[in-house]
Amino acid sequence: MDLDRYDSLITRLENSARSAPSRYLAAVVGIALLGFLILGLAIGLTALALLGIAALTLAVIASGGKALILFAKLGKLVILLALPAWAMVRAAFTLLFARFPRPAGRELAQAEAPVLFERLAELRAQVGGPRVHVVLLTDELNAAIVQHPRLGIFGWEQNYLILGLPLLHALDEPEALAVVAHEYGHLASCHGRLGGFIYRLRSAWARLQALSEQWNDWGSRLIARLFRWYAPYFNAYTFVLAREHEYAADRFSGEVAGPAAAAQALMRVNVAARLEHDRFWPEIDRQVTDHPDPIADRSRLWARLVRDARAAQTTPAYLEQALQRTTDHHDTHPCLRDRLAALTSEAALPVLPPVRTSAATRWLGDTLPMIEADLDRQWREAVFERWQTRHKRLAECHARLTVLGEPECCTQEEQWERIQLRQEIDPQADVLADTELLLAHYPGHLSARFLRGRLRIEAGDPAGADDLEAVMAADADATLAACEILWRFFRESDPDRASSYRQRWQQRSDFEEGVRRELATLPGDAELAPADLAPEVLAEVVQLIARDGKHVRQAFILRRVLRSDPGIRDYVLAFETRRFTLGDKGATTARSLARGPYPIRVFIVHLGSRAYRGYRRKISRLGIPPVYSS
Report DSSP state, residue 163: E
Q: Which residue has the higher pLDDT, 265 or 492?
A: 265
Closest CA to 35 of 332, 191, 237: 237
- Residue 205: predicted pLDDT: 67
Q: What length is written for the chain?
A: 630
Q: How confident is the model at residue 450 (pLDDT cuts 50, 70, 90)?
A: very high
Q: For 141-150, 447-456, 517-526, 538-547, which range has the lowest pLDDT when averaged over its residues?
A: 141-150
Question: Helices (DSSP H) in 409-494: which residue ranges?
Answer: 412-425, 432-441, 446-458, 464-474, 479-493
- Residue 73: predicted pLDDT: 52
Q: Which residue has the higher pLDDT, 198 or 509?
A: 509
- Residue 221: predicted pLDDT: 63
Q: Is the pLDDT of residue 213 over 70?
A: no
- Residue 330: predicted pLDDT: 67
Average pLDDT over residues 77-87: 52
Average pLDDT over residues 588-597: 90
Q: For 73-87, 97-111, 358-372, 504-518, which range has the lowest pLDDT when averaged over its residues?
A: 73-87
- Residue 541: predicted pLDDT: 94
Q: Which residue has the higher pLDDT, 161 or 427?
A: 161
- Residue 348: predicted pLDDT: 63
Highest mean pLDDT among 99-108, 247-256, 415-424: 415-424
Highest mean pLDDT among 33-42, 444-453, 613-622: 444-453
- Residue 575: predicted pLDDT: 94
What mean pLDDT value characterizes the chain? Answer: 84
Q: Is the pLDDT of residue 202 over 90?
A: no
Q: Is the pLDDT of residue 103 over 60?
A: yes
d(CA 546, CA 628): 8
- What is the percent of the chain with per-residue pLDDT over 70, rounded to a whole number? 81
What per-residue string of b and e applies to 423-462 under the rule 16 or more CB within 10 Å gives b?
ebbeeeeebbebbebbbeeeeebeebbbbbbbbbbeeeee
Question: 3-class SS at 571?
Answer: strand
Q: For 307-311, 322-326, 337-341, 387-391, which range has the lowest pLDDT when averaged over its residues?
A: 307-311
Rg from Cα positions in the chain: 31
Average pLDDT over residues 281-286: 89
- Residue 578: predicted pLDDT: 86
- Residue 50: predicted pLDDT: 61
Q: Is the pLDDT of residue 465 over 80?
A: yes
Contact 322, 349 (CB under 8 A): no
Q: Which residue has the higher pLDDT, 600 or 32?
A: 600
Question: 3-class SS at 627?
Answer: coil
In sequence order, the 6+-apart residues with CB closer than 8 A to the CB of 43 are: 92, 95, 96
- Residue 484: predicted pLDDT: 94
- Residue 309: predicted pLDDT: 66
Q: How confident is the model at residue 276 (pLDDT cuts 50, 70, 90)?
A: very high
d(CA 318, CA 467): 27
User: Which amino acid, one-letter code, is at 243?
Assistant: R
Distance of CA 69 to the CA centre of its chain: 53
Distance of CA 441 to the CA centre of its chain: 40
What per-residue string of b and e applies to 344-376 under the rule 16 or more CB within 10 Å gives b?
eeeeebbebeebeebbbbbbbeebbeebbebbb
Give percent helix, percent strand, percent coil of the chain, each to the nearest 5. Answer: 70, 10, 25
Q: How confident is the model at residue 288 (pLDDT cuts 50, 70, 90)?
A: very high
Q: Is the pLDDT of residue 625 over 90?
A: yes
Per the DSSP assignment, residues forming a β-bridge with 559 are 529, 571
Would you tell me the crossing angle of helices 218-257 and 192-212 to the nearest 10 degrees?
Answer: 140
**CATH tag for 527-629 (out of 3.30.70.1350, 3.90.550.10, 3.40.50.620, 3.40.50.720):** 3.30.70.1350
Average pLDDT over residues 182-187: 86
Q: Is the pLDDT of residue 151 over 70?
A: no
Average pLDDT over residues 591-595: 91
Q: Which residue has the higher pLDDT, 219 or 135?
A: 135
User: Which amino acid, one-letter code, is at 287?
Assistant: Q
Distances (CA, A) of 385 to 138, 297, 374, 392, 486: 21, 18, 19, 11, 36
| Residue pLDDT, tens place only, 228-273 | 777 777 778 788 778 888 888 899 999 999 998 999 999 999 999 9
- Residue 9: predicted pLDDT: 76
| Residue pLDDT, tens place only, 337-355 | 888 888 876 656 667 888 8
Would you tell me the crossing angle of helices 218-257 and 21-62 to the nearest 10 degrees?
Answer: 140
Distances (CA, A) of 485 to 478, 491, 493, 524, 547: 11, 10, 14, 41, 48
- Residue 28: predicted pLDDT: 79
| Residue pLDDT, tens place only, 376-391 | 999 999 999 999 999 9
- Residue 286: predicted pLDDT: 87
Closest CA to 363 of 163, 134, 124, 141: 163
Closest CA to 460 of 430, 436, 434, 490: 490
Average pLDDT over residues 79-100: 53
- Residue 71: predicted pLDDT: 56
Average pLDDT over residues 328-335: 75
User: Which amino acid, one-letter code, is at 428?
Assistant: Q
Q: Which residue has the higher pLDDT, 274 or 65?
A: 274
d(CA 84, CA 10): 38
Question: Helices (DSSP H) in 276-411: which residue ranges?
Answer: 281-290, 298-305, 309-324, 336-343, 359-364, 368-404
Q: Is the pLDDT of residue 51 over 80?
A: no
Average pLDDT over residues 197-204: 64
Q: Is the pLDDT of residue 419 over 90?
A: yes
d(CA 434, CA 409): 12
Question: 3-class SS at 500?
Answer: helix
Report DSSP state, residue 597: -
Sign of CA pseudo-dihedral 125, 131, 134, 138: negative
